[in-house]
Amino acid sequence: MKATAWMGTDSVKVIDVPDPKIMNARDAIVRISTTAICGSDLHLYHGYIPAMRKGDILGHEFMGEVVEVGPQVRNLAPGDRVVVPFPIACGHCSSCQRGLYSVCENSNPNAGIAEKIMGHSPAGIFGYSHLLGGYAGGQAEYARVPFADVGPIKVPDEVSDDQAVMLADVFPTGYMGAEMCDIKPGQVIAVWGAGPVGLLAAASARLLGAERVIVIDRFPYRLRLAEEHIDAETINYDDVDVLDALNAMTAGRGPDACIDAVGLEGHHGNAAMYAYDRAKQAARVETERPFALRQAILACRSGGVVSVVGAYGGFVDKFPMGAFMNRSLVMRTGQCHVQRYTRPLLERIQRGEIDPSFIVSHRMPLRDAPKGYKIFQKKQDDCTKVLLKV
């Protein structure tokens, strides 16, 4: 089969690889119809996530048709159209029983590697390094889905691929980011990043009752999407000081909650700060550029919530712990527990409450995946989200 493989820093290639096979009684094989390039795939592309190997198959956002199931998979059958959550979860461990699927205790066969960096291991993830299991990803013609009796859900005919594939990651992740803000009527929510997760976090904040949503980014076309589809107020951090602007917009209090939907490869309007973090990251003495996280902490009203759904992989520098502690802030974070959200969010799509596919800007065949990565990385042609059609 054809699959998108990581070939080294800033290099991917569509190559021929063996078709996946059932390896466990709880496996399924899915023939992929639509897969997506995620912003966190760019962290792999740029070489910031450890334990990648040449030839690793990328992709953790995918959906398609079930073609084979293991003998213990009784909820699915060949011919079922399904979307697959990106965290791989057993459904039976202590974490899964508490709905914490992205920290499943049984799905990462390389847990020992992760434990050395993180203390304990999170769940395995499709196509996201040997640190998180070494699983083949879904930017391919077929994928093996472990624990298929727990993860995938059937997609009804009236929901398009473009809508349904958003349930694999970005819509649940954005929704969880908003949910962790514990939004109350009348509150103001600020979102750093107008990429796919940030836009859907902002849209989810609206669904959950926020009175005002403020989106912060530097690309005018992405800010326009926030204004047109979410009725959000926007800040371009290349034009104004973000903290000053947020204080002016909130009578000096700051937003009630702040969502970091940027993660480890942030940018900053302050050239000196950007150069400092960029140099340390390039030398691998710092793994992250946490501009958005620092700003979110400083901007949030005292006693407020900082919600972090942007992906981080290692260690941050100049974390404003004094502000965080002395102003009674609360931080909530985590890779999304997607299995917790897929069905209720699918129902919201079916009821017409939201169409998450508004973020899609580009659709192209799988063979053009290398082109898709370059367009997405460089923000060319007003790119917000690339779908690969198989």
161 shares a domain with 16: yes
235 shares a domain with 105: no
User: Model pTM?
Assistant: 0.96
Domain that holds residue 48: 2-169+336-389
Tracing tokens 């059958």 back to the chain, one arrives at 77
The domain total for the chain is 2
**Which of 88-102, 104-118, 142-156, 312-326 has the lowest average pLDDT?**
312-326
Final residue in a domain of this structure, among 290, 315, 333: 333
Instruction: Provide the CATH number for the domain around residue 216.
Output: 3.40.50.720
Classify residue 24 by its DSSP letter: S
pLDDT tens, 330-366? 999 999 999 999 999 999 999 999 999 999 999 999 9
pLDDT tens, 157-194? 999 999 999 999 999 999 999 999 999 999 999 999 99
- Alpha-carbon distance of 220 to 234, in angstroms, equals 10
Question: Residue 81 is encoded by which pair of tokens?
Answer: 């159209």
Final residue in a domain of this structure, among 289, 318, 333: 333
329 shares a domain with 195: yes
- Residue 269: the pLDDT is 62
- Residue 271: the pLDDT is 67
Q: Which residue stretches of the chain are H helix?
A: 39-45, 94-97, 111-118, 161-164, 170-179, 196-207, 220-230, 242-249, 271-282, 291-299, 321-326, 342-350, 369-378
Percent of the chain with pLDDT over 90: 89
- What string of DSSP letters covers 194-212? -SHHHHHHHHHHHHTT-SE
Q: What number of residues does the chain have?
A: 390
- Alpha-carbon distance of 89 to 159, in angstroms, equals 25
105 shares a domain with 142: yes
- Alpha-carbon distance of 237 to 234, in angstroms, equals 10
